[in-house]
Amino acid sequence: MDRLTILFFAVCVAFICFVTWYGARQQREAAERMRQRQASRAAVPAAELSRECGPGIPPDIAERVVRILAAVSEFSLSPPGAKVDPSRLRAGDTLCEDLGYQLDSLAFCELQTELEKEFGVRLRAGDYSEPPTVRDIVRLVAGTLQAAEPNGCTRGGGSPRD
């Protein structure tokens, strides 16, 4: 091999190392921002969150949605020890900036799958606003449930995981 080939491979390896380091750094910073944001907030009762999301949103729906949002956010953040307290999420929190969903584009697929499993409804990817907030997701799920059930009640009245 000539020197130019060796130099090319060395630059490629250095670039890959930099991209890996930078991505890990971004994830650590996002997890730290989440930790600081949560430490500075008081817990919000589900009834208050449902009022912030809009009229007619049942508190149990809001509580179940934020629980799923927090779990998927934890899954998409690194390092693995990052914890998201669902009771500290606010209706105006954006999924991308406040919950770290920009770190893993598959997090949106995971979110949709988990919401569909929890509530027994089908959601369309095109229904999400840009950028989506906690309020948007709660309203989307509540609206889908109301459209699916003629009397507006949720299926079974509780979580399928209960």
CA 52 – CA 135 distance, rounded (Å): 8
Is residue 56, in this structure, part of any structural domain at all? yes
| Residue 155 pLDDT | 45
Supply angle C-alpha 123, 127, 131, rounded to 5.
Answer: 125
Is residue 19, in this structure, part of any structural domain at all? yes
Is residue 24, in this structure, part of any structural domain at all? yes
Cα-Cα-Cα-Cα torsion 94, 71, 106, 37, nearest 10 degrees, comes to: 40
Three-state secondary structure call for residue 152 = coil
Stretch 60-72: mean pLDDT: 92
pTM value > 0.85: no
Stretch 41-61: mean pLDDT: 90
Tokens of 124: 């369309």
For 121-146, what is each residue's pLDDT tens digit? 988 777 776 778 899 999 999 988 88
Range of the domain at 65: 3-157
CATH number of residue 152's parent domain: 1.10.1200.10
CA 16 – CA 19 distance, rounded (Å): 5
Is residue 162, in this structure, part of any structural domain at all? no
